[in-house]
Amino acid sequence: MKNKLNDLDPKTWLKFQKSWFIHNPPPRKKDVLVHPAKFPETMAQEFIEFFTKQGQVVLDPMCGTGSTLIAALRAGRDSYGIELNPRYAAIAAQLVGQEKAALTASQAQAQVFEGDALHAPTFPIPPVDYVLTSPPYWDMLHARGAENQKKRRESEALDVVYSEHPNDLGNIHDYEAFLSLLVRVYAGLQPLLKPKAYLTVIVKNVKKGGKIYPLAWDIARELGKVYTLKDEKIWMQDNQSLAPYGLGSAWVSNTFHHYCLQFRNE
C-alpha cells in the first residue's frame, strides 16, 4: 500500500483512527505558564505526524507560545505561526529557537510572525499542508468564577486573559460576533492551503450564565460551509479533580473533553 498521507506504519495509523483518546498533558514549563491556555506539544506531534509527511509545512494561525511549531520541529516538519500578542510571540520565537538548537540532526525550520491571523495570506508563508490550531474558547477567560482563574489572579506573573488588544477574539463578548469573526479567520486561510490539506481545530463547548454554548458544533457547522468537515476526535483528560457543581440542586457537569474537528480543503 502506498501511503499518500503520512509516514506511519499501518498499526500506528489504525491506533490514531480511534474516535477518542486520553491525553493528560505533562506539567507545563515555567517559560509557558504565563499563557493562560496551552495545548501540549506531545499531543500536537501525534496529529502532525498523522496528517503530514516529513518535510511538509504546518501552520498555526493562533500559535500562542509555540506548541504547534515545537511539535512540528520534533516531527521534522517546517512550521509557521502567527500570534497577535507580542509577549507570546517573543516567547514562542525563543522556545522555537531553543528547540531548533537542540535538534541538531533536523533540517526542519520554524518561524513565528507577530500579527493578526485575519491577515494570514499577507505573511510570507509557503503553501501549507496542514493547519493545527486551537482558538480562544470565546471570552471564558474573563469569567471570574473559574478556580484556575482565581489562582492566576493571585500571581502578577501569570496572564488571566490573552491580551487587552481590541482585535483579540477572546475579548469579544457577543457570542455570534465572536463566532463570525473566528470562522472568517479560518476561512481566510484558504489561499495558503494546498488542495486536500487538512485543518484540525481543537475546541470545546462552553458554559456561561447557566447555559451551554455549542462552540465546537457551531464551528463545525459554519466552517463546514468553507471546508469539508471530515470527522472528529474527542480528547479526554482523566486526571482532573471533580468539583461539586450544582450539588443537591442542579445538573452541572465537570467537562474534561475537547473536540478535535478535522476539516479538509476540498
What CATH code is carried by the domain that includes residue 228? 3.40.50.150
Q: Give the DSSP H/E element, type plus range, for residue 205.
A: none
In terms of average pLDDT, the best of 139-153, 185-199, 205-219 is 185-199
CB 93 within 8 A of CB 112: yes
- The average confidence (pLDDT) of the chain is 88
Q: Kindly state whether residue 84 falls inside one of the protein's structural domains.
A: yes
Q: Kindly state whether residue 225 falls inside one of the protein's structural domains.
A: yes
The model's confidence at residue 143, banded by pLDDT at 50, 70 and 90, is low
Q: How many CA atoms lie within 13 A of 180 on its CB side?
A: 6
Residue 233's CB is within 10 A of a number of other CB atoms, namely 19
**Counted domains in the chain:** 1
| pLDDT at position 236 over 80 | yes
Q: Give CA angle at 257 (254, 258), nearest 5°.
A: 135
Q: Kindly state whether residue 74 falls inside one of the protein's structural domains.
A: yes
200: left (phi over 0), alpha (psi -120 to 50) or beta: beta
| pLDDT at position 208 over 70 | yes
Q: Kindly state whether residue 27 falls inside one of the protein's structural domains.
A: no
**In this predicted structure, what is the pLDDT of residue 24?**
87
Structural domain including 53 reads 36-239+253-264
**In this predicted structure, what is the pLDDT of residue 105?**
80
Q: Kindly state whether residue 45 falls inside one of the protein's structural domains.
A: yes
More confident residue, 158 or 77: 77
The three cell numbers locating residue 209: 450564565
